[in-house]
Amino acid sequence: MTTTFTPHRLSSGDLARTASVGLRTRRLRAALSALGIAIGVASIVAVLGLSASSQAGLLAEIDRLGTNMLTVTTGQDLQGNSVPLPKTAPGMIGRIGPVEQAQSTGATKATVYRSPLIPKVNTNGLTVQAADLRLPEVVRTSVVAGRYLNTATATQPVAVLGATAARRLGIDRVHGGTRIWLGDQWFFVGGILGPATLAPEIDGSVLVGYPAAERYLKYAGHPSTIYVRSETSQVNDVRAVLGATTNPENPTQVTVSNPSDTLVARAAAESALNGLFLGLGAVALLVGGVGVANTMVISVLERRSEIGLRRALGATKGHIRVQFLSEAILLAGLGGTVGVASGVLATTVYATTKDWAVVIPPSAWVGGVASAVGIGAIAGLLPALRAARMAPTEALRTS
């Protein structure tokens, strides 16, 4: 009578214990192998997380600033010459029914310096513009120091600095004696504006009142940019008539745009660049997979006596194969888990410093762990097959 023994499949607990033997006995080597996987996964999670958080923050900023602002700027004629906007344009635009506010600025030829001792060539890229009295309200910025122009100061040599202009001129506070050299004469600084996200040209400008610009800077009075706020539901309709309203004789010589569209396009452009960083993360992940494969190959060579003894005690080739394959997957999975945690932590810290909402797309952490496990399985497959093919007697003899 012949007795046939059917080998049992390893239980989950037994498989976990045997798969972790190599990791527990060779901790440093396992940690270094998992590090490559962790770096690659962390890079991928951080790139996707920061991209999503950045876009969420930008969209929230757009919602706060409003998508109902349009800008009207000077256009060009057939010869490519700049065509000034009519002086009556802001008033005409304000008569459009859905338009809520229309404020303008006008570029002057004046230059501005901290003092008359600074060389003329050191302009710092700043412009001097005449401005309406309710401009900050329309472009959704605020006064961070001092006061904005009013009906009295708009007629006097008083200027308000944009955020960038104030920084480049080295002025961070306003007091009664703060002055700048503007148009070859002294102007008092009345206030400093915060950043104007929808109108970045304001940040690099020094603003004076229209009457003061005409009186002290020989300004001709033509606006160069008109900022228009309309009813949100009527933005497209207002945009369609702005050109003809601004310059009825030559509506094609007027440029109309929506700054929020530019911000949305910028977000799309930034997300397009993520492919480069994802590629770098994939390379790091591949390098980590090579490290796992190397570790498993060496582990098989060093543990031939263990393989031979287990085979002699009844372990099948399948048991050995599953053991080493599970060990590779476990090693890569641990690296992937650490990588996901590191990527989430990096995203959280950076997004918090930028006051963004922390957004981690599910595809980032699920994909990170899944790719790590997949690479671990691929990297451990050949060593596992090699270990399973070892004959018990040969393994014991060469150990």
SS3 content of the chain, % helix, strand, coil (to 5): 55, 15, 30
Task: Output 246 or 373, whichever has higher pLDDT.
Answer: 246
**Residue 266 above 50 pLDDT?**
yes
**Residue 181 above 50 pLDDT?**
yes
- What are the backbone dihedrals phi and psi of residue 381, each rounded to the nearest 5 degrees, phi first? -65, -50
Tell me the three state secondary structure of residue 218. Answer: coil
Domain residues of the chain, as ranges? 12-62+269-397
Question: Could you tell me which residues come within 8 angstroms of residue 232 by beta carbon, excluding any fewer than 6 positions away?
Answer: 66, 67, 68
Q: What is the DSSP string of 154-207?
A: GGTTEEEE-HHHHHHTT-----TT-EEEESSSEEEEEEEE---TT-HHHHTEEE
Question: Could you tell me which residues come within 8 angstroms of residue 39 by beta carbon, excluding any fewer than 6 positions away?
Answer: 284, 288, 339
pLDDT at position 378 is 80
Residue 158: pLDDT band (50, 70, 90) is very high
C-beta neighbour count of 88 within 10 angstroms: 11
Strands 127-131 and 205-209, bridge-based pairing:
parallel
Give the percent of the chain with pLDDT over 90: 30
pLDDT at position 5 is 45
Closest alpha carbon to 321 in 390, 234, 260, 269: 390
**8 A C-beta contact, residue 238 and residue 96:** yes
**8 A C-beta contact, residue 176 and residue 237:** no
Closest alpha carbon to 319 in 379, 381, 388: 388
**Two tokens, residue 222:** 């033509």
CA distances from 5 to 55, 311, 314, 315, 334 (A): 62, 15, 10, 12, 36
